[in-house]
Structure 1
Amino acid sequence: MIKKILLLLLVVLIVLQLFRPKLTNTATVASAGNINNSFAVPADIDQVLKTSCYDCHSNKTTYPWYASVQPVGWWLQDHVNEGKKELNFDEFGTYSLRRQYKKLEEIGEQVDEGEMPLSSYTIIHSNAKLTPEQKRQVMGWSEQLLNEMKAKYPVDSLIRKK
């Protein structure tokens, strides 16, 4: 009986391999909407973003080998799709001023609270884990951009009234 169950599970896993999610790595060159085209991103911050954020928050996802194994690939692609929907650094320049401001606030807050990058990501991608210095740099950079936006635009256009 156990052999039949294991054989059935093996057959199901093999059949699952035939149904793969569509990978969403769409950019081979820099996009016009990339955050670097809208804001000053120092080289050290840009490198941190590329190492720790871009796999889920840009159009330049580097898929690991296990993305080809189902059902892990489905879970991973859903996670990437959600990340890009929430924040996409390759489309940041196309966001409204209010959304850009909100996303910059969230970047600082989530890095400060250790919510990003996700621990489930840094387990396998240990180089994506932010050092205290990198956290401080990213938070300082986002705060600087927020202040620049406040100085340049009317606050009402940036902050939604409650």
Structure 2
Amino acid sequence: MKVIKKIAKLLLLLFVAIQFFRPEKNINQGNHLAGFINETNPPENVKTILTHSCYDCHSNHTEYPWYNNIAPVSWWLSAHIKDAKAALNLSDWDNYNKGQKDRKLEEIIEV
């Protein structure tokens, strides 16, 4: 029983300690979706889906949920956002060439 208590205390201490190591947040100011919206002109329902479901991970600005303040969830979300932006970054839409834009749009439609 003493061993279990020691392990539980050690795990609790470790959990508290990791809270001090936070990843950098993906927060930048500006309208990061404007270039994509202006060029593609999606219907209002698609624009709503993009804004509420895709934009947080696929842009340079993320509205984080409350649980992002708890490690190791914050680390997982940071890695997820980094991978999502590598696949498609709507904030960089104007920097893609025509071929890249066509491929990205096909992938968006597929999803």
Q: How many residues align?
A: 109
Aligned to 2:103: 102
2:54 aligned with 1:53, yes or no?
Answer: yes
Question: Percent of aligned positions with the same letter in both sequences?
Answer: 39
Aligned to 2:25: 23
TM-score (norm 2): 0.89
CA-CA distance at 1:16 after TM superposition: 0.2
Specify every segment of 5 or more residues in structure 1 that has no aligned partner in the other structure, as ranges: 111-162
CA distance in 2, matches of 1:54, 1:31: 9
CA distance in 2, matches of 1:32, 1:55: 11
Q: What amino acid does structure 2 have at the position aligned with 1:40?
A: N
What's the Cα RMSD here?
1.6
CA distance in 1, matches of 2:41, 2:63: 25
Cα deviation digits, residues 55-99 of structure 1 (max 9, x gap) = 111223110111111111001110011111111112112111111
CA distance in 1, matches of 2:40, 2:4: 60
CA distance in 1, matches of 2:39, 2:95: 9
CA-CA distance at 1:41 after TM superposition: 2.5
Q: What amino acid does structure 2 have at the position aligned with 1:22?
A: E
Q: What amino acid does structure 1 have at the position aligned with 2:7?
A: I
Q: Contact conserved, 1:33 with 1:91, CA < 8 A, in 2?
A: no
Specify every segment of 5 or more residues in structure 2 that has no aligned partner in the other structure, as ranges: none
